[in-house]
Amino acid sequence: MIRASVIVFPGSNCDRDVKVAIERITGVAPAMIWHGDASVPASDLIVLPGGFSYGDYLRCGAMAAHSPIMKDVISKAKAGTPVLGICNGFQVLCESGLLPGVLMRNRSLKFICKDVHLRVERDDTFFSRCYRKGEVIKVPIAHAEGNYFADTDTLDRLEGEGRVAFRYCDEAGVVSDATSPNGAQRNIAGITDSTGRILGMMPHPERLYEAALGGTDGRRIFESAVISLTADAA
């Protein structure tokens, strides 16, 4: 049985989407944990969902990163509990220091909501083992601040350590400035920590996990986690 916890912040609006996706894929409903709680129950997986935590005041994710629950999320993440941050959750991971960089305003200065193509850069991490390296998948985005930024040294380190999980690309897998919907440096759509057990990504895999939603490319994020947890327990 997979014990998952979804953190709910004021302004989260994708928490129930993630809950349904996890329950449909694993057969077990995750615990929904309020941001004001002091601790996360024993969990095999923690998810920081998308939305507009605290109305995106100051910077996206900046206030949520200081919610009471985050102290325990950070502690458990550093102890090895896998953490998935989606959209606003990615922003919170960066603001909390669990991942490097920051998510800035889209270069168009507009909110963008559409399906995008992603190239899978790693197929051997906790959240990506059900994909193939170089595979092109389609996942929706919905954000105004998805423009990933980091200094050159940080970007080079991410590249050198193989921590770029997904890049924006075209249907053929070609990565170029034109295929980045938000201006993200090096077309970065998702990154991991050094262990591969913490993943932050701007696209929403929970919105494309079954055919009735228009596709299943997002499903394998969660299936990868299940397989990885099973391997951990073996």
Q: Which residues belong to the active site?
A: 87, 204, 206
**CA-to-CA distance for 76 and 7, rounded, in angstroms?**
13
Please state, as a whole number, how many other Cβ atoms lie within 10 Å of the Cβ of residue 218. Answer: 24
* Distances 104 to 4, 20, 110, 143, 194 between C-alpha atoms, Å: 29, 29, 12, 10, 23
Cβ burial 28-65 (10 Å sphere, 16+ → b, else e): eebbebebeeeebeebbbbbbbbbbbbebeebbbbbbb
The secondary structure element, H or E, covering residue 226 is: helix 219-233
